[in-house]
Amino acid sequence: APATITRDLRAEFPGLTTAEGQPWHYLDTAATAQKPRAVIDAMARALGEDYATVHRGVYARSAEMTLAYEAARRRIARFLGGLEEEVVFTRGATEAINLVAQTWGRTNLKAGDRILLSQLEHHSNIVPWQMIAAEVGAHIDVCPLTDDHCIDLDAAEAMLTERHKLVALAHVSNVTGSVLDAKRAAALAHKVGAKLLLDGCQSAPHMGVNVSALDCDFYVFSAHKLYGPTGIGALWARAELLDAMPPWQGGGAMIDRVTFEATTYAPAPQRFEAGTPAITEAIAFAAAADYVDAIGRDQIHAHEAALVTRLRRELGAMNDVTLFGPADSAGIVSFAIDDIHPHDLGTILDEANVAIRAGHHCAQPLMDYLGVPATARASFGLYSTEADIDAFIAGVARTRRIFGKA
Ligand code: PMP
């Protein structure tokens, strides 16, 4: 088994302390991760003494900032095992999926074509496809789940046809933590001539990711879930796909030559980055990738897996608890307690400085499938500890007493 994390990382995260100086038991890292000092400092330097625009200045500071911005792109490419010309900086995963839908989708999908999604997708991997499908007359098929709430690839295999042009799936579910067998999904998609898009929002922070080993065609994720800043994320796309995709948003920096008669466009990835980009965020994004890789993604995975195992064991021993998702979920545990609404649980836990998520997690079709309006969700990050679970379990016991269930 790979070594797990032994260093106490909590002190490196100012966000993990309450205003009163108490430890904050933050179990909502799947929504957004707290930031280490290294990332905050990198962002502050980029906004301060290093600050200038990119791609235009004739002065040294701007030339240096351009180098730093392009180095950040190389860093994210290396983080994913891709090439720098295959990485487009976007506002986040949501914008990356919309970009693929509006450019690749608009040129490659036509009436009668089909898109395969799954029952557990985040709204951001459903709605952009509904929008383009409605425009071009394509159809969406929904792959069902197995008994332990993983995407059922046997069912996907039976559903896929030559009419399918795209398969778009969560690499890891933000609700159940279930991990997709991405290589098999890629093989199934490619067998019928479809492309595979992986929503990597919850896989990039929790495990090693290599796009060539996964054999996907598109991979998207957000920096803020990887201990980086909000407002930036990345689209990785195979070079030959990205090169053939028309631009989406028009403006500065994405052009080759503009005249009122005809405008020509820059090559990828610049063609997809209209306007002044998120310069400081890109630099902090790269700092986050450095931070994660210095700890080690296998170590992070092993650390979180041990926490998941303990939490599932303790919750599973309570006879009024329903656990969702598989035993080997990646850093995420969704559950329900009979007769206690997740929002009430979340509110009472908050009084004890324990933060969990309660709601539909932007996955309403999954809630419908599970037959619940909401779930409670505890999710871990590289800084999570046994003490976080202790505080959580104590808070659950207190909630039960308040509801007269103890
Ligand atoms: N997909 C998944 C699986 C997610 O967890 C999230 C964030 N909750 C998103 C997509 C959307 O990411 P963002 O809001 O950062 O664009």
**Ligand 1 centre distance from Cα of residue 221 (Å):** 7
Phi, psi torsion values for 294, nearest 5 degrees: -65, -35
**Ligand 1 centre distance from Cα of residue 94 (Å):** 7
- Is residue 235 one of the residues assigned to a domain? yes
- Is residue 61 one of the residues assigned to a domain? yes
Q: Are residues 69 and 162 in the same domain?
A: yes
Per-residue H/E/C for 361-387: CCCHHHHHHHCCCCEEEEECCCCCCHH
Ligand 1 atom with least separation from CA of 124: 10
Alpha-carbon span 222 to 92, nearest angstrom: 5
Predicted local confidence at residue 4, as pLDDT: 76
Closest CA to 202 of 119, 104, 112, 122: 122
- Is residue 5 one of the residues assigned to a domain? no
Domain boundary among 293, 313, 348: 293
Q: State the catalytic residue, choosing from 143, 150, 216, 362.
A: 362
| Residue with CA closest to ligand 1 atom 8 | 31
Ligand 1 atom with least separation from CA of 31: 8
Domain boundary among 269, 293, 317: 293
Reported as half-sphere exposure (CB side, CA atoms, 13 A), residue 347 has a value of 6
Q: Which two tokens stand for residue 169?
A: 């799936």
Q: Which two tokens stand for residue 96?
A: 């990356």
Q: Are residues 347 and 273 in the same domain?
A: no
Q: Which two tokens stand for residue 392?
A: 């959580």
What's the number of domains the chain is made of?
2
68 lies in which domain range? 40-293
- Is residue 3 one of the residues assigned to a domain? no
Beta bridge partners of 172: 179
Our separate counts of H helices and E strands in the chain read 14, 15
Q: Scanning the structure block, which residue is given the tokens 């991760």? A: 33
| Residue with CA closest to ligand 1 atom 5 | 174
Amino acid identity for residue 20 in this structure: E
Q: Are residues 313 and 164 in the same domain?
A: no
Mutate which of 202, 226, 375 to test ligand 1's pocket (most atoms within 8 Å of Cβ)? 202
Closest CA to 35 of 396, 402, 389, 381: 381
- Is residue 339 one of the residues assigned to a domain? yes
Phi, psi torsion values for 118, nearest 5 degrees: -125, 165
Q: Are residues 110 and 206 in the same domain?
A: yes
Predicted local confidence at residue 5, as pLDDT: 81
- Is residue 151 one of the residues assigned to a domain? yes
Question: Quick check: is 362 catalytic?
Answer: yes
Q: Scanning the structure block, which residue is given the tokens 């990785």? A: 236
Q: Are residues 215 and 158 in the same domain?
A: yes
All residue ranges of the chain with pLDDT < 50 are 1
Amino acid identity for residue 222 in this structure: S
CATH number at residue 321: 3.90.1150.10
Predicted local confidence at residue 2, as pLDDT: 55
Q: Are residues 44 and 24 in the same domain?
A: no
Q: Which two tokens stand for residue 187?
A: 């093989």
Q: Are residues 168 and 187 in the same domain?
A: yes
Convert the pLDDT of each residue in 97-111 to its tens digit: 999 999 999 999 999
Domain boundary among 293, 326, 357: 293
Q: Which residues line ligand 1 (CB under 6 A)?
A: 92-94, 122, 124-125, 170, 174, 199, 201-202, 222, 362
Reported as half-sphere exposure (CB side, CA atoms, 13 A), residue 362 has a value of 13
Q: Are residues 63 and 182 in the same domain?
A: yes
CATH number at residue 88: 3.40.640.10
Predicted local confidence at residue 55, as pLDDT: 87
| DSSP-derived secondary structure letter, 10 | G
Predicted local confidence at residue 203, as pLDDT: 98
Q: Are residues 253 and 304 in the same domain?
A: no
- Is residue 65 one of the residues assigned to a domain? yes
Q: Are residues 391 and 248 in the same domain?
A: no
| Pairing between β-strand 218-222 and β-strand 195-199 as defined by DSSP bridges | parallel
Q: Are residues 14 and 70 in the same domain?
A: no
Q: Are residues 287 and 385 in the same domain?
A: no
Predicted local confidence at residue 261, as pLDDT: 94
**Ligand 1 centre distance from Cα of residue 33 (Å):** 12
Predicted local confidence at residue 8, as pLDDT: 84
Q: What is the largest CA-CA distance in the chain?
A: 76
pTM of the model: 0.97
- Is residue 35 one of the residues assigned to a domain? no
